[in-house]
Structure 1
Amino acid sequence: MSLQAFLQELLSSRTPLQLIFIASTFTTVAYLALRSFTKRPNDGIPLYTPQGDYKKRWSYDNPHALQEAYGRNRNSLFKIWTSQGYQLALPARYLDELKMQPDTKFPSALQNFFIGPYLWPVEKWKLDYVHKGLHKDLNKHLPSMFLDAKDGANELIPVEFPECKEWTPIKVHPTVLKLVSKINTKLLIGNGLEKNKEWIDISASYTKNIFLSSAKLRVFHPLLRPVAQFFIAELRDVWRCNSRAKELLAPILAEKQLKERGQDYKKPVDSIEWIRDDASDPKDKNDPHLHAILQLILGALSVNTTSQLITNCIYNLATYPEYASLLRDESKEMLTQAGGEWTMDSMGKLEKTDSFIKETLRHAGHLTLTFQRQAKKTITLKDGTQIPEGATVFFPTVAANFDADLYPNPETFDGLRFYKLRHASPENEKKFQLTSISAEQMQFGMGRHACPGRAIASHQVKLILAHLLEKYDFRLKDGEGRPKTVLFQTNQFPDPQGEILFRNRR
């Protein structure tokens, strides 16, 4: 019996003797674990401790804690306490040197960030099927996926944002989350799942629950997590979704196996086939349990980032109405030039819209840090600085986003900031696009593990905003400001209950 099964059985029995045993064991382990959790590694790297209660600040004031640390250590490697123990923050000058280090030496630490074994009961290396499939197939099929995204926007936006002649309140994030879940399911998975209400509900809730589950698990030392997992409601919901998704995908996989035996079979373009093609273990090719987890991960990562970005853009359109008219005029002009039908080329010409979205992302990226890596071996940099074996490193993206040396008046929302930077000189033309990556623009990561879906996400966000601007007006509720950003550890969420007013344009 596994430890997880043993603990689950133990907790479900609830006899007095067992509860006493659990309580005493948990208390002892907690004491020992917390002592080791706060022990500072003796590696000679300077430690920065934010002012005040640094643990509380990491959980609830993370952006400002990182900005404070970055302001004093921007050009050097430094150590800081995180909810996963002590980690190393990188200065921008090391990113180019580190970005293409091989995974055998410097792999992504995102699986550790999510604490994958508690969420996804499959062998760790099999989760890489998602990453491989996206890198190999996603951009190759970008034109056909763009058409699916365009059809999805045309069909689904009127459903989620219905006709409304008078100013009406709308909870933006749940509405956008459902819309993006449907569109992403259509363009990534297909097979009719975009019309399956249960799958869409699972996809939408999974997005939230994997982030909250991992965030809550990170509060506990690794020695405490085998017990703590059973008290996290969002994690139990993740397990339920894994199980139900398996049941929904099983008949689709069975039908695929049947169809591919036919003489006139033509392989469809969808993420299920990408993973089937990449499966190095033949048993994985048609395993509904594995496919369920991988498709939910794929959906969650793409749905979460895209829906949060669109939500924040809508909040900003309501807060700064002067940009709504500006972007609407740009959309009309580009749509007319394209003959009344959006194309990938016409999307690329929406430079002001691109800038507005990028400025929104600068102010409210979904993670306060990116470029999370773990050193499998000691890495010696060109200047002699060493990253010790076993260390987890990151780049404090939120701090760079508000660096006054990089962005004058960084606290001010300037929707045309990146448009002006692009046109400041000819060499800047391609430097400051939404999907651009550099040491100063790290919202999508960098190097070997940069976000592979940022191109289709960029088109999708622009398509949805162009549709919404054409059909609706937005404004804040009377007497209320912009819905606030919710912070927890390194996550920044748009207020899930935030409301603004919308109506059809007259």
Structure 2
Amino acid sequence: MLSTLIRVRLSQNLARLVPQLKGELESIVATEFPECNDWTSVKFQPFALRAISRISGRAFVGPSINRSEQWMDTSINFAIHVFTAVVKLQFFPEWSRPAAQYLVSELRQIRKDIDVAKKMLKPVIEERLRDMEMHSAEEKPDDLIQWLVEALPAEEKTDYEAQAHIQLVLAAASIHTTTNLVTDCMYDLAAHPEIQEMLREEAHQVLEVEEGWLRKESMAKLKKLDSFMKETQRLAGNITGFIRKVLKPITLSDGTRLPPGTKLLTPQAGISHDERFFADPETFDALRFYKMRQASEEEGHRWQFSSIGDTNVNFGAGRHACPGRFFAGNEIKMVLAYFLLKYEVRLKDGEGRPKGMMMVMSKMPDANAELLFRRRTVD
């Protein structure tokens, strides 16, 4: 059900959400991003983490909660606690984990996170349920809290712990991955200043001249920015796309047999650097996918940022592909377009593009890297 709500309701309501999400971005830039009247050194990743938390939170829990420091801390740290707990549990044999769990402090913190989220969500959910019973004439909120109370069976509408768990799992799946990619995109903008004006002109035409900030479909018109994002994801994406466990015997085309219990990993990094799929794969080409989309209508759909396929499994594959990838794509476009229109960005003198770090099968941008920003003067 959650996958359907994210894929259908979130996508359907993007047109109404975009102005609200842009308002969240403008608010956090005004309060937490430096003035940058002249070239100013900024650690972008910590800012991006809080910005994405606020913007995503606006769509998930609404305006009464998303700006709360307690909610932001809980939704951001829940994913860290889960990841750390999983890593620590790997050091214990499977048979011992029921007892070993008491040695992993992050598991206790996870339960505390859920309790905090439950206490914050309960009064909001109760208010939404009262409004539903009274058939309030006010416009319904556009957020996941509302979609859940409308979609859940009557006996589950007041299961506050379950809804808290859903919200935190969604935050864990969305905040850090989106932050990482928007940060890598900003690093690439700084490392390739020659593409900034091209992307800026596209954003200006679509979002300002055509007043596209008010329309969801305008984000789809940012085709060059879409290509730039996909190229960044190609080179900075994770080492593997997803992991699956074989449930019944499978025989591959070359005769290899996979018994139940076998774990499979998709080699995303290997695919992304394979010259059979991408010409000159080690070169960053911001318009790579823009040009590939010009070949035909079919190719135009195949090479969009949010598209999935044999050569792009960053979002998973098949029916289990990430249902929030369309929202994430629009969210990243909005942040990048806003910064392109408002700021110039470059690397510090003598420095190259910040290098990422690898942890297990994931790649992450350097959280301590600093870029130089300067506010643009627009006539």
Asked if these proteins are the same fold (TM beyond 0.5), I'd say: yes
The question of 1:259 aligning with 2:131 is answered yes
Amino acid aligned to 1:498: A
Contact 2:212–2:218 at 8 Å: present in 1 too? no
Contact 1:209–1:235 at 8 Å: present in 2 too? yes
Q: Within 2, Cα distance between the matches of 1:318 and 1:210?
A: 33
Unaligned 5+ residue runs, structure 1? 1-128
Aligned to 1:310: 182
Aligned to 1:221: 93
Aligned to 1:271: 144
SS at match of 2:9: helix
The question of 1:291 aligning with 2:172 is answered no
CA displacement, residues 278-298 of structure 1 (integer Å, 9 cap, x when unaligned)? 445x54321222111110111
Deviation at 1:193, TM superposition (A): 0.8
Tell me which of 304, 314, 335 is aligned to 1:443.
314
SS at match of 2:368: coil
Spell out the pairing of 1:25-64 with structure 2 (5 A cutoff): none
Deviation at 1:470, TM superposition (A): 1.1
From the superposition, tell whether residues 425 and 130 of structure 1 become closer, same or farther in structure 2 (CA, over 3 Å).
closer
Tell me which of 281, 301, 309 is aligned to 1:410.
281
Tell me which of 327, 330, 336 is aligned to 1:456.
327
Deviation at 1:378, TM superposition (A): 2.7
Q: Within 2, Cα distance between the matches of 1:278 and 1:392?
A: 34
Kindly tell me the number of residue pairs found equivalent between the two proteins: 376
The question of 1:430 aligning with 2:304 is answered no
Q: Which 10-residue stretch deviates more, 476-485 or 262-271?
A: 262-271
Deviation at 1:183, TM superposition (A): 0.8
Q: Within 2, Cα distance between the matches of 1:313 and 1:493?
A: 12
Amino acid aligned to 1:210: V
Aligned to 1:208: 80
Aligned to 2:271: 400
Q: Within 2, Cα distance between the matches of 1:339 and 1:252?
A: 34
Aligned to 1:301: 173
Q: Within 2, Cα distance between the matches of 1:425 and 1:132?
A: 30
Amino acid aligned to 2:16: S
SS at match of 1:193: coil
Deviation at 1:414, TM superposition (A): 1.5
Deviation at 1:426, TM superposition (A): 5.4
SS at match of 2:13: helix
Contact 2:226–2:333 at 8 Å: present in 1 too? yes
Contact 1:208–1:304 at 8 Å: present in 2 too? no
Amino acid aligned to 2:157: K
Spell out the pairing of 1:112-261 with structure 2 (5 A cutoff): 129-226=1-98, 228-230=100-102, 232=104, 234-261=106-133
Aligned to 2:193: 321
Amino acid aligned to 2:337: A
Q: Within 1, Cα distance between the matches of 2:187 and 2:50?
A: 17
CA RMSD of superposed structures (Å):
2.5
Aligned to 2:222: 350
Spell out the pairing of 1:54-93 with structure 2 (5 A cutoff): none
From the superposition, tell whether residues 482 and 212 of structure 1 become closer, same or farther in structure 2 (CA, over 3 Å).
farther
Contact 2:19–2:214 at 8 Å: present in 1 too? no
CA displacement, residues 411-442 of structure 1 (integer Å, 9 cap, x when unaligned)? 22211111122224554222211112110111
Deviation at 1:342, TM superposition (A): 4.9
Deviation at 1:383, TM superposition (A): 7.3
CA displacement, residues 436-490 of structure 1 (integer Å, 9 cap, x when unaligned)? 2110111111111111111121111111111101111212223332222121111
From the superposition, tell whether residues 231 and 319 of structure 1 become closer, same or farther in structure 2 (CA, over 3 Å).
farther
Contact 2:180–2:364 at 8 Å: present in 1 too? yes
Q: Within 2, Cα distance between the matches of 1:247 and 1:283?
A: 19
Flag the structure with larger Rg: 1
From the superposition, tell whether residues 323 and 215 of structure 1 become closer, same or farther in structure 2 (CA, over 3 Å).
farther
From the superposition, tell whether residues 408 and 229 of structure 1 become closer, same or farther in structure 2 (CA, over 3 Å).
farther
Q: Within 2, Cα distance between the matches of 1:318 and 1:226?
A: 48
Deviation at 1:229, TM superposition (A): 4.2
Q: Within 2, Cα distance between the matches of 1:415 and 1:293?
A: 38
The question of 1:493 aligning with 2:364 is answered yes
Unaligned 5+ residue runs, structure 2? none
The question of 1:362 aligning with 2:242 is answered no
Q: Within 2, Cα distance between the matches of 1:239 and 1:323?
A: 46
Amino acid aligned to 1:325: E
Contact 1:215–1:489 at 8 Å: present in 2 too? no
From the superposition, tell whether residues 136 and 374 of structure 1 become closer, same or farther in structure 2 (CA, over 3 Å).
farther
Q: Within 1, Cα distance between the matches of 2:256 and 2:73?
A: 48
CA displacement, residues 375-394 of structure 1 (integer Å, 9 cap, x when unaligned)? 33334567765442233323
Q: Within 1, Cα distance between the matches of 2:57 and 2:210?
A: 27
Deviation at 1:191, TM superposition (A): 4.9
Deviation at 1:306, TM superposition (A): 1.3
Q: Within 1, Cα distance between the matches of 2:256 and 2:152?
A: 39
The TM-score with structure 1 as length reference comes to: 0.68
Aligned to 2:348: 477
